[in-house]
Amino acid sequence: MTRSLVLNNARIIDPSRNLDEVGSIIIGDDGHILAAGAEARNQGAPDGAEVRDCNGLVAVPGLVDARVFVGEPGAEHRETIESASRAAAAGGVTSFIMMPDTDPVLDDIALVEFVKKTARDTAIVNVHPAAALTKGLHGDEMTEIGLLQQAGAVTFTNGRHALPDTLVLRRAMTYAREYGAVVALEPRETYIGNGVMNEGLFASWLGLSGVPKEAEIIPLERDLRIAGLTRAKYHAAKISVPESAEAIRTARGRGANVTCGISINHLCLNENDIGEYRTFFKLSPPLRTEDDRVAMVEALADGTIDIIVSSHDPQDVDTKRLPFADAADGAVGLETMLAAALRLHHSGHVSLMRLIDAMSTRPAQMFGLDAGTLEPGAKADITLIDLDEPWIVSKDALLSRSKNTPFEDARFSGRAIATYVGGKCVHSL
Amino acid sequence: MVFFPHRHLLGIKGLTEQDITYLLDKADEAVQISRQREKKTSTLRGLTQINLFFEASTRTQSSFELAGKRLGADVMNMSVGNSSVKKGETLIDTAMTLNAMHPDVLVLRHSSAGAAALLAQKVACSVVNAGDGQHEHPTQALLDALTIRRAKGKLSRIIVAICGDVLHSRVARSNILLLNAMGARVRVVAPATLLPSGIAQMGAEVFHSMEEGLKDADVVMMLRLQRERMSGSFVPSVREYFHFYGLNAEKLKAAKEDALVMHPGPMNRGVEIASEVADGPQSVIEQQVEMGVAVRMAVMETLLLSQNQGPRT
């Protein structure tokens, strides 16, 4: 049970209603929104309510991060569900989808239940498990999609792993369609894509093996064809080149039910950031060229790219303090996704409405989560943002157990000032 | 008084023409030392050099060892076979352990690109890159340059054809950088499968035929082709490769009459180079080995003596 809460004088941006106006949000003691918008101004406050003046702040539906890797179970030294949830709250993220790449893999209802239970007991934000599409993520046999969904899995994915067997993919997607489940894959071809950074001149000088764009485009085209064939809901979890966005557009034109996402890193960084073999910038897919980045920002702005994810992937010293080619892929991002995305707002490339849509409303709709809106009756998951608050990312200040951020010492304008989950404040600066 | 504005030698990239000339001049002096009966000096007496070789290497390691010894340094060799690397210790942990022994210079050979740069961030002493993956092998490029300069009297306005497996070659990368910095024209001659992406923008003209690529060349630099890359993966067969890209007397005729034939070793005779050429009058392959010791003496002396004087980078 929480106290009622009134947020006054906030600029409310709610993409679910295409609403951008100054107003109030009234939250009942059951943790749900009673009213939000200009019409809620001067309506008074429920008895005993806490009133907060939000002058100068932006109130948005709490962010939804659809791709988060957590170390629990199996690698708790990197991240637990609890520590990830604290990192999320600090970054304004009120719900995240946890990838099944754990040890053991989330391919069984008992494990999905374990995650749900651990999250309920320890997490301060909403944690939704994604289940493995194939047993052990091996890509050979499909998992119990129906039962896993009943247990609470919100989507099915092969996580970091490619799915080379087209027949397995076809059957899994055909089967998933019956349950309305979204199949989310990272398009990655492992033969031509057997490299460690973007292919090109920079990789050649560094003496590192390259990953050409085709390593993403070819499997994506394949997946899109299978999606068309099976009429299943397909989500390309992380794309990195404009040709992929183009392929998505074309597939939609054919009537396929497909969506795609991009990691915040690919919207803000490019291959040159690798500099002298900085392993925190070793990602999958690899950071691409500046031209690619700019084109992807455009594809985000025009809605071809549906959602932004942090692709939060905690890695420790043992997997990152290695020569570049030997280091693991991945970067943490829950705490910096919003601030990094605001760079695109400040630069004028993407509207605030679209950014919040891509980080909250749209992913909530795609994965059927009770989130992403400030409509009366909705759960009061709200992020208060100061668009201009200057801050510098300090490794030591990160709440995540792992510190592998590509934004170390980055200067940002804007961050989450407060995060509410079900009307309860879980982060406040 | 030594003035050299670098603390480490991680690659040719970042060196200016002046830096390179300085090292080559210094190496010229070192050649004399190696040719005397009394080869040991006390230039680096009391200093410790550790050779950390994660990849097997005979000539580079012995060359560095000899260079250090001739300068009077205490030299210790660590190679993978008898170190804890096999027990799963990471490069950095090994380096930190060695660092605690207060060496003055670490010479690193490693199979991963960027290993030397990583090491340099973590240790307190100078680091010399003796080859990191497919990235750079700066002392090889310097010794090649010294060999050419002693034979031709200059490095500018000469044509150097680098032939063979450029894709996997750190020697090629370092040489392209160095020769461009010194004003030479660089060509690469290789099948397309053995060229890196973007090679045309790397400061080299690209040829796919030995006859055209070697035409009027002053220097023909052959590269080693690893055995595992010969049979079907990058080229169809040794026979086919030698037929089109192996250097023999016939193909060498396209180059200038007094063109030098070079090879960083170890050679695959009958794969990239025929014995008639390798042992022929134009071959300077043995001089390269001699220059190797001299260049490494020059590098070691320059880095260690300038450390407390020149600015550190």
* pLDDT in the model for residue B1: 59
* pLDDT in the model for residue A44: 80
Cα A50 from chain centroid (whole Å):
31
pLDDT category at B232 given cuts 50, 70, 90 is confident
What is the C-alpha separation between B312 and B6, in angstroms, rounded? 6
Range A143-157 average pLDDT:
97
Annotated binding site of B: 59-60, 87, 109, 137, 140, 170, 224, 265-266
- What CATH code is assigned to B8-135+290-308? 3.40.50.1370
Question: Which residue, among B54, B134, B171, B174, would best test binding to A if mutated, counting the most A CBs under 10 Å from its CB?
Answer: B134
Convert the pLDDT of each residue in A251-278 to its tens digit. Answer: 999 999 999 999 999 999 999 999 999 9
Is the model's pLDDT at B309 over the cut of 50? Answer: no
User: Which pTM does this prediction carry?
Assistant: 0.92
Per the model's pLDDT, the better-predicted residue between A52 and B1 turns out to be A52
pLDDT category at B88 given cuts 50, 70, 90 is low
Is the model's pLDDT at B25 over the cut of 80? Answer: yes
* pLDDT in the model for residue A391: 97
Range B118-131 average pLDDT:
93
pLDDT category at B226 given cuts 50, 70, 90 is confident
How many A-B residue pairs are in contact by the CB < 8 A criterion? 68
Convert the pLDDT of each residue in A185-198 to its tens digit. Answer: 999 999 999 999 99
Distance from CA of A238 to the nearest CA of B (A): 25
Architecture of the domain spanning B138-288: 3-Layer(aba) Sandwich (3.40)
Is the model's pLDDT at B313 over the cut of 50? Answer: no
Distance from CA of B258 to the nearest CA of A (A): 32
Q: Which of B113, B198, B201 sits opposite A207 (nearest CB)?
A: B113
Which residues of chain B make contact with A203, given a CB cutoff of 8 A? 196-197
Is the model's pLDDT at B75 over the cut of 70? Answer: yes
Is the model's pLDDT at B87 over the cut of 60? Answer: no
Instruction: Report the mean per-residue pLDDT for chain A.
Output: 96
User: DSSP secondary structure string, B28-95?
Assistant: HHHHHHHHSS-----TTTT-EEEEEESS--SHHHHHHHHHHHHTT-EEEEEEGGGSGGGGT--HHHHH
Let me know: does A204 contact B198? Beta carbons within 8 Å: yes
Let me know: does B109 contact B60? Beta carbons within 8 Å: yes
* pLDDT in the model for residue B82: 52
- Name residues 151-190 of chain B within 8 A of A (Cβ): 170, 173
Range A96-107 average pLDDT:
97
Range A200-212 average pLDDT:
96
The answer to whether the bond into A285 is cis (omega within 30° of 0) is yes
Distance from CA of B4 to the nearest CA of A (A): 21
Which residues of chain B make contact with A205, given a CB cutoff of 8 A? 13, 173, 202
Convert the pLDDT of each residue in A340-368 to its tens digit. Answer: 999 999 999 999 999 999 999 999 999 99
Per the model's pLDDT, the better-predicted residue between A81 and B79 turns out to be A81
* pLDDT in the model for residue B259: 97
Report angle CA A346, A351, A353 to the nearest 5 degrees.
125
- ipTM of the complex in this document: 0.91
Range A278-300 average pLDDT:
97
* pLDDT in the model for residue B257: 96
CA-to-CA dists, residue B292 to A178, B113, B298, angstroms: 70, 22, 10
Which residues of chain A make contact with B134, given a CB cutoff of 8 A? 207-209
Residue with tokens 């001739």: B70
Which residues of chain B make contact with A321, given a CB cutoff of 8 A? 90, 92
Least confident segment among A108-112, A335-339, B96-100, B176-180: B96-100
Judged on CB neighbours under 10 Å (0-12, 13-18, 19+), B313 is exposed
CB contact under 8 A, B113 and A326: no
The segment(s) of chain B belonging to CATH 3.40.50.1370 are 8-135+290-308, 138-288
Convert the pLDDT of each residue in B134-165 to its tens digit. Answer: 999 999 999 999 999 999 999 999 999 999 99
CA-to-CA dists, residue A86 to A90, A119, A201, A425, B83, angstroms: 6, 12, 40, 12, 42
* pLDDT in the model for residue B86: 55
Q: φ and ψ at A178, to 5 degrees?
A: -60, -25
pLDDT category at A45 given cuts 50, 70, 90 is confident
Instruction: Report the mean per-residue pLDDT for chain B.
Output: 92
* pLDDT in the model for residue B79: 77
Is the model's pLDDT at A42 over the cut of 90? Answer: no
Is the model's pLDDT at B57 over the cut of 90? Answer: no
What is the C-alpha separation between B128 and A186, in angstroms, rounded? 40
Range B219-243 average pLDDT:
88
* pLDDT in the model for residue B83: 55
pLDDT category at B95 given cuts 50, 70, 90 is confident
What is the C-alpha separation between B296 and B34, in angstroms, rounded? 12
Q: Does B119 touch chain A (CB under 8 A)?
A: no
Q: Which DSSP letter does residue A357 get?
A: I
CB contact under 8 A, B133 and A207: yes
